[in-house]
Amino acid sequence: MKEKIRELSIQLFATKGFKETSIQDIVDALNVTKGTFYYYFTTKEQLLMDIHLKYIDELLSKQEAIISDKNINCKEKLYKIVYLLIHDIKKEGLSAKVFFREMRNLNEQHLALIVPKRDHFRLNIQKVLDEGISNNEIRGDLPTDIVTFSILGMTNWSYFWFDPNGRRTDQEVSDVFIKVLLEGLEK
């Protein structure tokens, strides 16, 4: 039931917005009582935190698996991280929407748990770039903090335009992104 509440709430938060969705809306849609809701979550905000935590923890653990893979070089790691994020829109599009849009509705205590995880994900990308520079795979004349933001910009912005059921596949989009990033547009 906890998972059902979470899934249904992700749908409601993504379409109506967090503030616009009441606990009553959630329990009505599931045809259960408020008591059931309060058995699993103390508040609506705690449910939002639960959604945020699950979303970022899953991304982080997948990213860590890519980074620690000793059989691929840094460029391949970058590709896999880009693909992880674009593919994720297909799989977890609504959670992503809720993650990006509704973070400001978390209380300070909860934000203090989520923000370091977001930073961790970002710094992991920067680490891959720094490693790529020492390995001589990646040019060393650009500040990797800004380059990291350029990569995250491409991928995170995709949540606003990429339609997994549209004419471009997640594979195609990732391929173009990584070619732009690694090879550049110049002829």
Interacting residues toward a copy of itself by CB under 8 A = 17, 19, 75, 104, 129, 132, 136-140, 142-143, 145-147, 149-150, 152-158, 161-162, 168, 172-173, 176-177, 179-187
Between 24 and 143, name the residue whose CB sits nearer to a copy of itself.
Answer: 143
Instruction: Work out how close the CB of 102 gets to a copy of itself at its nearest, in angstroms, rounded to a whole number.
Output: 11
Judged by CB, which is closer to a copy of itself: 7, or 137?
137
Q: Which is nearer to a copy of itself, 33 or 150 (CB)?
A: 150
Q: How far is the CB of 68 from a copy of itself (least distance, A)?
A: 21
To a copy of itself, the closest distance from the beta carbon of 36 in angstroms equals 29
Question: 57-61 contacts: CB < 8 A, separation 24 or more?
Answer: 57/117, 58/92, 59/84, 59/85, 59/88, 59/121, 60/117, 60/120, 60/121, 60/124
Answer yes or no: are the C-beta atoms of 100 and 153 closer than 8 Å: no
Rounded Cα distance between 106 and 29, Å, is 23
- Report d(CA 58, CA 95) in Å as an integer: 12
